[in-house]
Chains A and B, each alone.
Chain A
Amino acid sequence: MNVKAWRMGACEALPLLSGYLPVALSFGLIAGQAGFSPLEATALSLFIYAGASQFLFVGMIAGGAPLWLTVVMTLLINARHLVYSITLAPWISQNRRWPWLMHGLTDQVFALANYRLPLLSEHDRISWFSSTAIVAWAGWGGGTLMGSLAGEQLIQRWPLLANAMTFALPALFWVLLAPRFTSIRWFIALLASVLSALMLSLHDMTNIAIPLAAALGALCFYLLPASTARTRS
């Protein structure tokens, strides 16, 4: 175990935690309203651990949807995660612990790992990823428990804080993305993805926004002539 890499991973997961807490609080609150006990809601968060699809899972069950359909729909939303571990594979060693650590590979952990893993030595990567994933996972589970037990009171008492904390995630994504604006080609492709996801989100199509917006960005990237791929100095 590399203590320095562990500490670095835990520190870098803090913005994730700040973004996770308000959403996890809301999930705990909604799960409670749907009839799940605090323990059950926390178990869902710890074992499924998939943000938006958990809301769908709880909502469909509360609405009386068939269980098989609930499972299929939830897994369909999570299908985008198929690409994440393939993308990180070049920086992942043959260590047998890596596949188990993929339980912690959420959208946000992927974004952070995609930025950080290439910059670390092979020896440090597993320690960094373990601590990042554990801090985020514990934050999500802890936030759900808090939301189930006292979500309504917490949100009522500190509405501004809960609102402000949600900006940690977009701020983190800006920082992770900023170094990628290296050419006109990348600029247009990234902007197409950002804007299309934003539009889809505004039209309540959040579940398909990520794959669709990324596909649109990829289309722009591959359609643009190579002359626009010049790197900025």
Chain B
Amino acid sequence: MNGAIWWAAAATAVGTFLIRMLPLYVMQRCMSRVSDIERERQLPEWPGVLAPLMIAALLGLSLPPHPSSALGWSSMVVGSLATLCLWYKTRTLGLPVAAGVAAYTLMLFIGS
């Protein structure tokens, strides 16, 4: 990797960090100047709506199996159902994920 590529990588790294950090820094500065009640009033409503929708988009993006095949898609459906069923029963985070991965793997194993 030559010097110019290192500079490009550094610019990308700094730029990405600023994209993640600056909005919070600016908000922290604004919020530090107002009272708690005023703070509640100043917080916009839209991030609360957008956040779950972005997670939904992440879910949609991560669903297609690689490589895409009938077995991959059916494993995805079974894995998703297992995850949701266990979440409904337990309302926890770790166990449903483990069950989903186990069901998905089992389907792949049986089908392969």
Contact = CB atoms under 8 A, between A and B. Distances in A.
A169 interface: yes
Contacts of A55: none
Contacts of B51: 83, 87, 110, 114
Nearest to A160: B108
Contacts of A194: 56-57, 59-60, 63
A209 B12 CA distance: 21
B31 A171 contact: no
A170 B59 contact: yes
Interface in A52-67: 53, 57, 61, 67
Nearest to B43: A90
Given A167-B79, A171-B101, A102 B55 contact: no
Contacts of B27: 85-86, 89
B28 A92 contact: yes
B39 to A, nearest CB: 9
Nearest to A89: B27
Contacts of B105: 160, 164, 167
Contact of A48 (B13, B32, B53, B57): B13
Interface of B: 1, 4-5, 7-13, 15-17, 19-21, 23-25, 27-28, 31-32, 43-44, 46-66, 68, 75-76, 79-80, 83-84, 87-88, 91, 93-94, 96-97, 100-101, 104-105, 108-109, 112
28 contacts: A12-B93, A14-B94, A61-B5, A67-B7, A68-B8, A86-B23, A88-B24, A98-B28, A99-B21, A111-B54, A160-B109, A164-B101, A166-B66, A170-B80, A175-B83, A178-B87, A179-B91, A186-B52, A193-B53, A193-B57, A197-B57, A198-B64, A201-B61, A210-B61, A211-B57, A212-B57, A214-B50, A217-B56
Given A111-B54, A210-B58, A213-B61, 16 more contacts: A12-B94, A67-B8, A75-B16, A83-B51, A86-B23, A98-B28, A163-B108, A164-B108, A166-B62, A168-B101, A170-B80, A171-B101, A175-B97, A193-B56, A213-B53, A214-B50
